Structure 1
Amino acid sequence: MKFPILALTGIAFLAITQGCVSTKKYEQLQSSYNELQEKTRDINQKYQSSQQELSGSSSRVKSLEEQIASERSNVASLQAALNKCLTSSSQGNVNISKLVDEINSSNKYIQHLVNTKNKSDSLNMVLTNNLTRSLSREEMRDVDVQVLKGVVYISLSDNMLYKSGSYEISDKAGETLSKIAKIIKDYKDYEVLIEGNTDNVPISKVNIRNNWDLSALRASSVVQALQNTYGVDPKRLTAGGRGEYNPVAGNDTDAGKATNRRTQIIITPKLDQFMELIGKAPDTTKQ
């Protein structure tokens, strides 16, 4: 029985001696642990942002792929009709020429759809990269930025921007709005729509009739702050309110209501600029 006793004694001794870590060493380990936790949060937030962007791009890709599949099916049908004509009488020669033209036209349109998809993806990538350069990793925590079909969407919650139950800009919103102004100035040739949104809880203020009023007043407050405090050209700005009628979550929970209470800043390229990148579909009516 001596050996087990000695073994247990040795293990206890090691545990005691190894457990004795100096205060300085403990603080160093604690600091390293905190840094790792911070990096982990940053990575998770970056991952969530990337997932949202990927979801929007995937929707666009799916739509184009469906069009491509439809056109390819049309080509297959035309090819089958052509083969049938080849085995028919000499009168089919006229039809053969027409089918060949239709097949060539369909093939051109398929290529156009492929090119459109590639250009759309490239446009979204360029905008996303430019936004990433404009904002630091720390700044990205404060705003939700998405790029969908060439349009930049920046969403801010009401508790970040406004005083409780009011349309007045809060003191703590200044730093966030300065970042938004920086992005808007980077895209100086783009139009900017400030859009207010609320939950479905009726507002009870003497000078505010309903959620339409509240959402519009909040959007107007942001527009005037961007103009007067941060020097954004007012000719580029539009303020609008959508009240409770554009929810992005259910209003049956507090979390859903908080998500719906938001102000969205939408940076949109002018139509002629966007069409230069996308191009026009070929005319398939001409033979």
Structure 2
Amino acid sequence: MKKIMLLSATAALLLSSCVSQKKYSELETLQKETKDQLNTATVKLNSCLDEKERFNEQIKVLNNQNAALLNNVGNLATLSTKEAANLEKSLESIKEKDMKIQRMQDAITKKDSVTLALVTSLKGALGNLNDEDIQINVEKGVVYVSISDKLLFDSGRYNVSARAKQVLGKVATVVKNKPEIEFMVEGHTDDQAIKTAVLEDNWDLSVKRATSVVRVLQNEFGVPPERMTAAGRSYYIPLATNATAEGRAQNRRTRIVILPKLDQFYNLIESGMKEAK
């Protein structure tokens, strides 16, 4: 701008000094070129200013995006922390459940070992008897000793025979050596109706046969009565059909059920849980 003013002043001075036409034309041309250069510079400057404004807007947008991204990262970090805490809790819960399952499995294994030892002892004591007269089996962890009616009683009677007392004596020897077990004596009959001066029906017969066995075990072989239960099942749990003599013979039986002591079983679990802590 100063340059233009200087040139204008110079031109005016020259004109006033009556410069030559040639010199004036040269100065005029120089003034025009300078003006064009100024216009070009002004356009470039304005363009640069516009571009700077765009850059500033872009920087502002990027700053906002960065702030949002940092905020999201913070949220993700918080989420990850919560997820990690939940995962840790889940793992602890699984670990605790696994420990309980292991304690239960150990208790079941120990109980099964006791059951196996009992079966072995009973079979050792009664092994010389006919399998049709006495059977020992295990169902769902419970030991059953089934003694046929013909071995224990006369037909329609509930007094224990002398031969049956020998068998009951062997059973008593085994159970007395295992004070941790309890058992129930069940009387079973066939479906043939019975009624006497003493017996009302098969319920009466089955119960009296069970109580007769319990009395022999208590009075003659010293089995503690608090460890025994007498029960009559009548003819409602048959092993075979009552339509044949063979089937009815199978159904007439006395069964000794070795009862699992659930309190001892749970004590084994609780003991295992305490040891694991």
TM-score by length of 2: 0.58
| Equivalent residues of 1:197, 1:246 under 8 A apart | yes
Q: Which residue of 2 aligns with 1:154?
A: 145
Q: Which residue of 1 aligns with 2:44?
A: none
CA shift, 1:113, in A, is 4.4
Does the residue aligned with 2:128 lie in a helix, a strand or coil?
helix
Q: Does 1:121 align with 2:112?
A: yes
Deviations 1:246-272 (A, max 9, x none): 333333443332222111122335444
Seen in structure 2, the aligned counterparts of structure 1 residues 256 and 103 have a Cα distance that, compared at 3 Å, is: same
d(CA) in 2 for partners of 1:281, 1:159: 46
Q: Does 1:214 align with 2:205?
A: yes
| Equivalent residues of 2:126, 2:170 under 8 A apart | no
| Equivalent residues of 2:147, 2:254 under 8 A apart | yes
Q: Which residue of 2 aligns with 1:47?
A: none
CA shift, 1:204, in A, is 3.4
Does the residue aligned with 1:112 lie in a helix, a strand or coil?
helix
Structure 2 unaligned spans of 5+: 1-75
| Equivalent residues of 1:144, 1:154 under 8 A apart | yes
Deviations 1:191-231 (A, max 9, x none): 33221111222213343111110101111111222233333
Seen in structure 2, the aligned counterparts of structure 1 residues 224 and 93 have a Cα distance that, compared at 3 Å, is: closer
Q: Does 1:200 align with 2:159?
A: no
CA shift, 1:189, in A, is 4.4
d(CA) in 2 for partners of 1:143, 1:202: 25
d(CA) in 2 for partners of 1:121, 1:127: 10
- Tell me which amino acid in the other structure corresponds to 1:143: I
Seen in structure 2, the aligned counterparts of structure 1 residues 190 and 253 have a Cα distance that, compared at 3 Å, is: same
Q: Does 1:184 align with 2:186?
A: no
Calculate the aligned-residue CA RMSD, in Å.
3.3
d(CA) in 2 for partners of 1:169, 1:202: 21
Deviations 1:17-37 (A, max 9, x none): xxxxxxxxxxxxxxxxxxxxx
Aligned residues: 197
Matched-pair identity in %: 41
Q: Which residue of 2 aligns with 1:245?
A: 236
